[in-house]
């Protein structure tokens, strides 16, 4: 596992963008994309490189980690819409795929998406953020380390954390479809970005604590190729665990 500490969010974004840039220019055809605040600096840098340095995503298909259940198509906070707004509409991606959170049969939709990711993969590079409780994707604490894409219920902490994207916590959906930890781990290269002291405890637990479903991100310790990029705030707990 490679752990890189950078000065600030923008520097972290450039380092992660370097990973994606090298992968795409070397022939990667499948990328895994995350939403939330942490990846935004990455997407801004990749858009700049597309516009100014000729970085093309035309041969690339992208797969989203998760989607809220019950938001209408085009809702500004549906992850399909967020990824278009923040990234896909600004580059030449060959295609973007995500779970169908509006399906009348959510279990079947989750299984179908898992099969699509598997049949299209393995994903060459999977971008990840991390929740303050250690979740990746929307695999909340207690998620099996070998879990597949499925419907899950968000914890109250996660809904509170995400309320900033909505008019209030009451508007945050309770359920999501998320790639499971086993699905995520099937990617060739996992790249996690985290910034701010609020993420420091989760980063320390994920990288230096026991591998346990109670810290879903600890599954990264089992993967053969992981890059973790954090700023100085998110890195404050790493010294005590020897990372």
Looking at the 3D structure of the chain, how many domains does it have? 1
Whether 150 contacts 113, CB under 8 Å: no
Six-digit token string for 90 = 């600004």
Q: Compute the distance between CA of residue 6 and CA of residue 235 in angstroms, rounded to an integer.
A: 9
Candidates 151, 149, 150, 174; CA nearest to 162 is 174
What residue numbers bound the domain in which 80 lies? Answer: 2-241
What is the structure's pLDDT at 242? 61
Q: What is the C-alpha end-to-end distance of the chain, expressed in Å? A: 10
Question: Taking the chain (243 residues) in consecutive chunks of 10 residues, what is each chunk's mean pLDDT?
Answer: 96 98 98 95 98 98 97 94 97 97 97 97 96 96 98 95 94 97 98 97 96 98 98 89 63
What is the structure's pLDDT at 237? 87
Whether 102 contacts 208, CB under 8 Å: no
What is the structure's pLDDT at 241? 64
What is the structure's pLDDT at 243? 64
Six-digit token string for 65 = 């980690």
HSE (side-chain half, CA atoms, 13 Å) at 138: 29
Cis, bond preceding 122 (omega within 30 deg of 0): yes
Whether 101 contacts 78, CB under 8 Å: yes
pTM of the model: 0.95
Whether 157 contacts 196, CB under 8 Å: no
Instruction: List strands edge to edge, sheet with 175-178.
Output: 66-68, 175-178, 150-153
What is the structure's pLDDT at 121? 83
The label of the residue with tokens 């993967």 reads 223
State the CATH number of the domain containing residue 69: 3.40.50.1360
Check the CA dihedral 227-118-94-195 and report its sign.
negative
What is the structure's pLDDT at 43? 98
The label of the residue with tokens 């990711």 reads 117
Q: Compute the distance between CA of residue 144 and CA of residue 212 in angstroms, rounded to an integer.
A: 9
Helix, strand, coil content of the chain in percent (nearest 5): 40, 20, 40
Residue 60, sorted as left (phi over 0), alpha (psi -120 to 50) or beta, turns out to be beta
């Amino acid at each position: 596992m490679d752990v890189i500490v950078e000065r600030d969010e923008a520097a972290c974004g450039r380092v992660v963008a370097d990973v994606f840039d090298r992968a795409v220019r070397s022939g990667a055809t499948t990328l895994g994309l995350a939403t939330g605040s942490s990846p935004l600096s990455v997407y801004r840098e990749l858009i700049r490189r597309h516009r100014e340095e000729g970085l093309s995503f035309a041969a690339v298909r992208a797969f989203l980690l998760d989607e809220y259940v019950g938001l209408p198509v085009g809702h500004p906070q549906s992850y399909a819409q967020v990824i278009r707004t923040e990234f896909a509409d600004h580059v030449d991606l060959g295609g973007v795929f995500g779970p169908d959170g509006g399906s009348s049969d959510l279990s079947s939709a989750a299984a179908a998406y898992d099969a699509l990711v598997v049949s299209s993969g393995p994903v060459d590079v999977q971008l990840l953020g991390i929740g303050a409780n250690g979740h990746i994707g929307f695999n909340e604490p207690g998620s099996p380390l070998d879990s597949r894409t499925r419907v899950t219920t968000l914890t109250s902490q996660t809904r509170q954390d995400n309320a900033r994207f909505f008019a209030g916590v009451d508007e945050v959906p309770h359920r999501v479809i998320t790639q499971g930890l086993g699905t995520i781990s099937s990617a060739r290269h996992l790249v996690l970005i985290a910034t701010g002291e609020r993420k420091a405890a989760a980063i320390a637990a994920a990288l230096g604590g026991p591998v346990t479903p109670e810290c879903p991100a600890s599954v990264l310790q089992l993967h053969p190729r992981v890059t973790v990029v954090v700023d100085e705030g998110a890195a404050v707990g790493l010294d005590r665990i020897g990372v």
